[in-house]
Amino acid sequence: MRKENIKRISSIAGLLILFVVIIAIYNENAEDELTRGVNFFKKHSFSFNDSSIHKHIHKYDHECGHNKIIEQEKLLDQPKQAFDESLFEVDDISKVLPIEKDFKNIRISMDYSNVASQPASVQTFLKTQVVPPIMNHLQEMIKVQRLTAPIKVDPYYKLKNCGQANIKIPAEHISVGVSNTDLIFYVQAYRDSSNLLAYASYCPQSEPYGLASGRPTVAYMNINLNQLDKDLASKDPMSLAKWIFILTHEVVHSLVFSPNYFDKFLGEKNPVKTFDGKSYVVAPSIVKLAQDHFGCPTLNKVPLEDEGGPATFGTHWERKAFGNELMTGSQLYDSVFSKFTAAMFTASGWYQVVDYMTATLTWGVGEKCEFVEYSCPKSSKEFCSVKGSACSYDYVSPGTCSDSDFLADKCTYWQGYSNQHCNFPDENTKKVYQTSGGAWGAKSRCFNTNVADSARWVGVKSLCFESYCDYSGSTTKVVFKVFNKEYTCTATTKQVTIPGKGVVDCPDVLRFCFSPSACPYSCSGKGVCRLGKCSCYKGFKGEDCSQLA
């Protein structure tokens, strides 16, 4: 009896072992079949939800450190900037200062002696590619009462270098001075592991070397070569424009947009005030500009940044209200030197501005009082609250509704993916655009659409199409191509049907046609986009301003 039980148990065990083996073989085959199926699907479909595709949101990592720099410079034993309001009247200061009465374009003298020891490639890049578009733009845009005598740098700088950048002043700039100029600007470079790309400030000039008006006559920029080398090595076609935007931002700090200067403003005195711990611009001309821009006639103060810590708050436009304006606290692609920053120059009383050299800011336009007075209004066209993908706020790239911008108070807005940029997509993205009737390059923009579904691209909710804006009629139109056939959107058109393929959502015509990206390559950071055509800064030419004139 015991032997029979043992035999039965052995038989059952054998059957169980055989069953396990069969299941294992089946599972292995099934797994192989599943793997083959997944691989086939991956080969014939493409999801923008794949993290290997998305890579990262396109925004610059540079956070402005201007406030930190000026706090550190307060600790230096430097001359006190000349300023004596009692010596002159704002409308005619030629009586007591060696300057002309009329305002004319500012003359800026660049000095590269502090980077003479740097590699030739760095010097060439700075002298021919980065600095000229910045300074040429300012010299075309900004006017001053020109100096009629040479600028002599304060003899103090014989003994000590200038500022945090340790600018060494050439001896002849102290003894003889620099003639036919209204501003001396020094270029310096350093190496640092931080993500600070650059900063700028000024060299205080005591009486009688500085202007009694308080306007700076000697300034500098300091560039982090570790960051510059990284960008030069990356061959990123967008890096040059990035450096132009960032250095322009810092130069503006060195000339006017700084706590160094606010208490010296002559045109609209005390332009910045604090309410409940937050800083606002109260200069009447800037408040009026904001009222008109946002469509908020009751607005009585314009917000400055209240996020980002001591490095940024109080000396930049508030990100939520001003988006991609040049003087927000960190740089976004297609930064806009708008009338708001230009108005800060004018409010100082030191400068006048040529308005047509400013760019159009579409962020927040017409969004009413709640946009600028409250946080993240859901009714606005700038902010989003849904998950998924759609075009970036400036229509330069497919993107995502993200709260990754630390300056936006957790307000979410559509931020583009760097590898899917309509001008410079990666190879995988090019395949998606090409097979879905799209295009990439200088004249391509992003549209929300389901056309990619017809090409079996899973999860693709936005594509880049060749497009342009037609400004010729009484109303502006957006014209775009899908599979080489043209379609038109007007301000009242919501969708356009692509026969047999799907539908394309029409963009907001104002934001689409009056942002920098309405021009080829956004004018490469070397020009102003006006009605779809680039007006290049002096020294540059071409459809996209990328060529040296």
Name the residue among 528, 506, 508, 502 with its Cα closest to residue 517.
528
d(CA 136, CA 131): 8
d(CA 91, CA 148): 18
The count of other CB atoms within 10 Å of the CB of residue 361 is 23
d(CA 253, CA 163): 14
Annotated binding site: 249, 253, 316
| Orientation of helix 225-234 relative to helix 239-255, angle to 10° | 150
Beta strands across the sheet bearing 444-448? 444-448, 462-470, 477-482, 485-489
Name the residue among 478, 320, 396 with its Cα closest to residue 59.
396
d(CA 300, CA 284): 8
Name the residue among 187, 97, 194 with its Cα closest to residue 144.
97
DSSP 169: P
- Catalytic one of 63, 73, 250, 325: 250
Burial of 7 (0-12, 13-18, 19+ CB in 10 A): exposed
DSSP 204: -
Q: Among this protein's residues, is 250 annotated catalytic?
A: yes
What is the pairing mode between strands 477-482 and 485-489? antiparallel
Helix (H) or strand (E) holding 140, with range, is helix 131-141
Annotated binding site for Zn(2+): 249, 253, 316
Residues labelled catalytic: 250
